[in-house]
Structure 1
Amino acid sequence: MAKNAPIGDGRRIGAVKQRSQTKTSSGHWVKRDSKTGRFMDVKSDGQPFKGIRKER
């Protein structure tokens, strides 16, 4: 039976749309929805989210 082979290693190419991240005063990175401006998630390890653009 034929099947479609996976292309590449299956990871996303490019940045996540409609998202941005910024660093809080405590040093944690927080993910924000660009449409509504609401905060979505906070990382506790001090490293930025992968594939999400940073705000200036």
Structure 2
Amino acid sequence: MATNKPIGDNARVGAVRGRSQVFNPVTGLWTKRDTQTGRFMNVKTSDNTPFKGVRKEK
């Protein structure tokens, strides 16, 4: 029988709120943005996959 993870293990369940991501075709990297201010927050440089759980902009 499956069990829930322990509380406090820093495992997120569901989507990240207040964030979006966009692909930069010039650099080939994904960039995370704040939806309230529109400021760029983070760039994922480790691999070419998008951020997990963050919605994508068109």
Who wins on radius of gyration, i.e. which is larger? 1
Q: Percent identity?
A: 54
- 1:54 aligns with 56
Once the two structures are superposed, residues 22-48 of structure 1 have per-residue CA deviations (whole angstroms, 9 ceiling, x without a partner) of 100221000000000000000112111
Gaps of 5+ in 2: none
For residues 31 and 21 of structure 1, the distance between their equivalents in structure 2, rounded to whole angstroms, comes to 4
Gaps of 5+ in 1: 1-6
Q: How many residues are aligned here?
A: 50
TM-score (norm 1): 0.78
Q: Answer 1 or 2: which has greater strand percent.
A: 2
